Amino acid sequence: MDASPLFSQDLPPAELLIRGAHVLDPRSDVDEPQDVLIRDGRIAELGLAGSLAEPDDGETIDAGGKHLFPGFVDPHVHLRTPGQEYKEDLETGTAAAAAGGFCAVIAMPNTAPVVDEPSVLRSLVGLARTQARVPVGFLASITRGLRGEEMTEMAALRDAGALGFTDDGMPVTSAGMLRKALQYQRLCGGVVALHEEDPALSGEGVMHEGPVSARLGLAGIPSLSESTMVARDAALAGYESARVHFQHLSCVESVQALKAAKDAGIQVSGEASPHHLTLTEDVVRTLDSRFKMNPPLRGERDRKAIVEALRTGLIDCVATDHAPHARHEKEVPFEQAAMGTTGLETAFAALFTELVMPGELELSVVIERMTAGAELYDLPTPRVARGELANLCLIDLEARYEVGADGYASRSANCCFHGRVVHGRVLLTLAAGAIAFRRPMLVPRESTRRTAQPSVQGLAQGQARGPQA
Amino acid sequence: MSDRMPRHLISIDDLDRTGIERILDRAESFAEVSGREIKKVPALRGRTVVNLFYEASTRTSSSFELAAKRLSADVVSIRSAGSSVDKGESLKDTIHTLSAYDPAAIVIRSPHAGAAQLVAGWTPAAVINAGDGKHEHPTQALLDVFTLRRELGGALDGIRIWIVGDVLHSRVARSNILAFTRMGAKVTVCGPPTLIPREIEALGCEATASLDGLEEAKVVYVLRMQNERMKESFVPSLREYAERYQVNAGRLRPGQLLMHPGPVNRGVELSADAIDSPQALIGQQVKAGVAVRMAVLYELLVGSPMLAAVA
């Protein structure tokens, strides 16, 4: 962790006893009510519920009936900085992450300017150190200006802190260009993450090509615009012994291509977004631009295939593709609207409500996949275990609420789950040992002991950035 | 008769069969008004209708304007060229501005699907979709059903209708498939496979790439073929398109009815002999436009059976 490639503010380390929460961490094989004592930002002790004494220094949170999970890791967010701070910035974006239970996020480089120069990356790292509430990792672009023509200084970018590379938002259309980047990866390391889309097939498309696009008269993006590129790039990765990660997989054909690549021993991984896991093209019938994203929401058969692939681990992790846009970019006819949905604040609740509650996925699988993004980028995976840095989220699974009713921590409100009634509310997030988010309603229990200064500060900051702020 | 009209007319899906019939019956009475020397009724006197056209249009915009005027409404017609729209004003801001004039109805034509629906969320006025992108053109479908109902002397139940041409880019095709099937007709769409949307059958029609079998149709509804489709490689040439898909006197059997939403590309989708044949209802369609749009305005804005005697 010493030369961590994640960057955030220095927040005071938490001193906290979380009492009696149902701890679920599939990797540590814990699934029972426990007391969790956090000292100096680390998990100092775990014990059966009610077994640990209240700390002399610090506060106690009575968390009976709530669930405590390892903090989530999102390998795919757009924090819009530099250049598009009217949509989001490092402060609001990481506040949204913390409000969603995330203890680390990885930001995409399709900003203005693009993160294609070490100087841009260095300035971002500096900003993160003063503004980011949860640790942020950065990807740099594969090609300059995302134009798909010339390779960036990948080695220098790695030295400046890039976790890996992506042209996300744009595909690397030229197989020759991508091949060179994959060869160069042998020198500089770092995962190459790919937005898979063949522009010759997606054309002017604005939604999935299928019965709904036929009905609405909207130009369609066929599934094979994604899956043919997954197959192509898996072949390139195999040939060059490279390591690639497929971003936001959306269709059954891509799942098949990913399986073929994994079966062939190629070093590939994949992610799926909460919206592709829970929604289909059917919702686009409303022509509500909140449902416009790239890749588009696809058919029910696709959704089922993505869920099943996530269940088996063929798709390795959940990634929100959090893509904030200003109102005026979405309050226009569907074809003109910007592509993307926010997702950080709703990821867990959407998956819990739409997949776990109806029995499509087990809760432990969702928790595992919402934390698995770390390992793909060679980051430590959050664990609820003694000695670990406190990366935790406390969630009330019983809480039922309407998404967006209290506003958002994100600067933008273009959430595809807006207005839905969901279950599962994040109450507390600890990231890298500090309290990153605390829901204002979660007041500390009256303690006979003195409450330590750092926690009070944490509380105040948590409140200041809560969704009601 | 359905006792309630929707507040807006965005899609044919807003109307059930009785709703469609109610509008068509009303249009019959307004058609009679159009035959009078003074073609005016006072139904919308003192109320304002805004026509907002973001796309070039001749027959739709002029017939909406005439329809509103024959109902005695005050009419404001705005075209995007030369207006503040042209100066980059957003649709939402334009609608807020126009809503300040307290219009009873806004009629909107837009190159983008869903525009009318968005407008309906931003204004207290009734909104009528006069064509939104490639999505829908409900008043065209209504006037087509009106024309056919008159010509057939009754219901469309069980008749076969072929829609021929560029279905992919046609809002008329989408609204008409919905309206024709809702009225009991059986619809087949026919055109080059590049111009038939994948899974169009989900709308309740059949699809074919060949004119073979056209003789089964009672009605042949031909769509406009735009020159720009050649450049986009949807079809290799107008010549090849015309050879395979042009509806001409040789391909029409006696008794079939020919329709087209206009404007026609003579010699492309239709031959001159077909256009000028007595089987063609193209002129009747245009004429029906005013009466049907009067009926739509009337039903949305007045609508109550008590006032039916006004016409």
Given CB atoms, is A86 within the 8 Å cutoff of chain B? no
Residue B81 has pLDDT above 80, yes or no: no
| Residues of A involved in catalysis | 321
Which residues have CB under 8 Å from A438's CB, separation 6+? Answer: A427, A428, A429, A458, A459, A462, A463, A466
Question: CB-CB: which of B92, B115, B135 is closest to A217?
Answer: B135
Dist CA A125 CA A132 (whole Å): 10
Question: CB-CB: which of B112, B136, B170 is closest to A333?
Answer: B112
Asked whether the bond before A333 is cis by omega within 30 degrees of 0, the reply is no
H or E segment to which residue A191 belongs: strand A191-194
Q: Which residues of chain A does B133 touch, with a Cβ-Cβ cutoff of 8 Å?
A: 217-218, 333, 335
| pLDDT tens per residue, range A16-51 | 999 999 999 999 999 999 999 999 999 999 999 999
Strand order, beta sheet including B105-110: B74-79, B48-53, B105-110, B126-132
pLDDT at A319: 98
Residue A267 has pLDDT above 70, yes or no: yes
| Of A225, A182, A193, A464, nearest in space to A316 by CA | A193
Identify the residue with better confidence: A455 or B262. B262
pLDDT average, residue stretch A359-383: 97
pLDDT average, residue stretch A229-258: 98
8 Å CB contact between A223 and A197: no
HSE (side-chain half, CA atoms, 13 Å) at A413: 12
DSSP codes, A141-183: PSBGGG-SSSB--HHHHHHTTEEEEE-TTS----HHHHHHHHH
Please tell me the distance in Å from A353's CA to the nearest CA on chain B: 29
Question: CB-CB: which of B132, B133, B199 is closest to A214?
Answer: B199
What is the percent of chain A with per-residue pLDDT over 90, rounded to a whole number?
Answer: 92
pLDDT at B5: 86
Count other C-beta atoms under 10 Å from residue A251's C-beta.
26
Given CB atoms, is B22 within the 8 Å cutoff of chain A? no
Looking up tokens 């130009």 gives: A219
Region of poorest pLDDT, from A91-100, A317-326, A402-411, B78-87? B78-87
- Report the amino acid identity of residue A341: T
pLDDT at A57: 83
Question: Would you place residue B33 in the very low, low, confident or very high pLDDT band (cuts 50, 70, 90)?
Answer: confident
DSSP codes, A208-233: ESSHHHHHHTPPEE-THHHHHHHHHH
| Of A361, A196, A213, nearest in space to A274 by CA | A361
8 Å CB contact between A97 and A107: no
Cα–Cα distances in angstroms (integers) from residue A212 to residues A288, B168, B172, B226, in the given order: 13, 13, 17, 24
Given CB atoms, is A331 within the 8 Å cutoff of chain B? yes
Question: Would you place residue A462 in the very low, low, confident or very high pLDDT band (cuts 50, 70, 90)?
Answer: very low
| pLDDT tens per residue, range B37-73 | 888 999 999 999 999 999 988 889 999 999 999 999 9
Strand order, beta sheet including A267-272: A72-77, A102-107, A136-140, A162-166, A191-194, A243-246, A267-272, A317-318
Which residues have CB under 8 Å from B37's CB, separation 6+? Answer: none
| Of A367, A355, A419, A297, nearest in space to A70 by CA | A367
Given CB atoms, is A467 within the 8 Å cutoff of chain B? no
pLDDT average, residue stretch B181-210: 97
Please tell me the pTM assigned to this model: 0.92
Please tell me the distance in Å from A275's CA to the nearest CA on chain B: 22
